Amino acid sequence: MRKYLVFDIGGTDLKYAIINRQGTLIVSGKIPTIKTSLAAFIQSLQAIIDRYVTVISGIAVSVPGKVQHPQEVIEFGGMLPFLDGVQLSQLLKAPVPLIVENDGKAATLAELWRGNLKAVNNGAVLVLGTAVGGGIVLNHQLVRGTHDQAGELSFMKAGTTFAPTEMYGAKGSAVGMIKAIATAIGLPDITDGPAVFAALTAGDVTAWTIFNQYCDQIAGLIQNVQAVVDVDTIVIGGGIAVQPLVTATINAAFDRLRAASPMIRDTLARPKIMTSHYHSMANLYGALYQLLLETETIKYA
């Protein structure tokens, strides 16, 4: 059975995995993402490729930033600006097909392939991380848009202006929420997510005030998406989604939003709001699915 090497390039960690055609995870690992230079970054990827090149039939890479298809050129690169304008297939050496996919769209493709959108015609994925990534699925197909930038939810206005701090990339940042709670309750490490959720589980009032405000923001974003595309299911992804408290509290916030607006409640159907099936592995599985779509001439499952 064919095996594939898949990368998920994040601002902190570079995850990799060997996954077979049926979606079985065979090998997984991660290393710190090299940020010093493009050359050093490429070298770190190449070392992993060289380790597995004799047993793989293809390579798929999930990256921050916009990806132009079919050229697979990365634009912007998010927290890794040296990726702007890069075509990884020209820099990495491997005798197998290599594709690149935007991380938010990869997370969406994972849910579409074998996750919580597998049996859904119309859905969306919200990836709560440093910013808000995501993707839209209509008629059981990922919507890319004219410029491969459909689903860039971070750029939607959440405040009074389109200043970066007033858009959902900031207002919906899970990393920002963790830091705000950790600072407010005096944690020594303001990036300690498990300690933040321990405080929430223990009922810390200060933590809950900030967390509820955050979930209200995400509920507002979901309502904006629902008003535009009318989906059946919204999937909540990102590292914090592994905490059951997250999706439950977002659901409660969404119900409060609808209760406060009878016009919305009585006019617009409520979508299901569910936790990601793949959690932190979603980008790996979604990038692989895109590789299969491109190289095996398969249709959306």
- The pLDDT, as a whole number, for residue 234 is 98
The angle subtended at Cα 145 by Cα 140 and Cα 146, nearest 5°, is 140
List phi, psi (to 5°) of 118.
Answer: -60, -35
- The pLDDT, as a whole number, for residue 12 is 85
Q: Residue 300 is which amino acid?
A: Y
Q: Within the chain, which residues score under 50 in pLDDT?
A: none
- The pLDDT, as a whole number, for residue 296 is 81
> What are the pLDDT digits (tens) for 157-175?
999 999 999 999 999 999 9
Give Cα separations from 150 to 130, 139, 140, 206, 247 (angstroms). Answer: 19, 15, 15, 36, 24
- The pLDDT, as a whole number, for residue 57 is 96
Residues in Cβ contact with 269 at an 8 Å cutoff, skipping those fewer than 6 apart: 226, 230
List phi, psi (to 5°) of 62.
Answer: -100, 130
- Report the DSSP pairing between strands 13-20 and 3-9: antiparallel
- The pLDDT, as a whole number, for residue 24 is 96
If you compute the radius of gyration of the chain from its CA atoms, what whole number of angstroms results? 19
- The pLDDT, as a whole number, for residue 301 is 57
Count other Cβ atoms within 10 Å, centred on residue 122: 17
Handedness of CA 290, 76, 117, 274 (dihedral sign): positive
Domain architecture of the chain: domains with CATH: 3-103 (3.30.420.40), 116-276 (3.30.420.40)
The secondary structure of residue 153, as a DSSP letter, is G
Residues in Cβ contact with 126 at an 8 Å cutoff, skipping those fewer than 6 apart: 132, 133, 134, 153, 172, 218, 221, 222, 225, 234, 235, 236, 237, 238
Q: What share of the chain is helix, strand, coil (3-state, %, to 5)?
A: 45, 20, 35
Model-wide pTM > 0.85: yes
Nearest-angstrom CA–CA distance, 209 and 163: 25
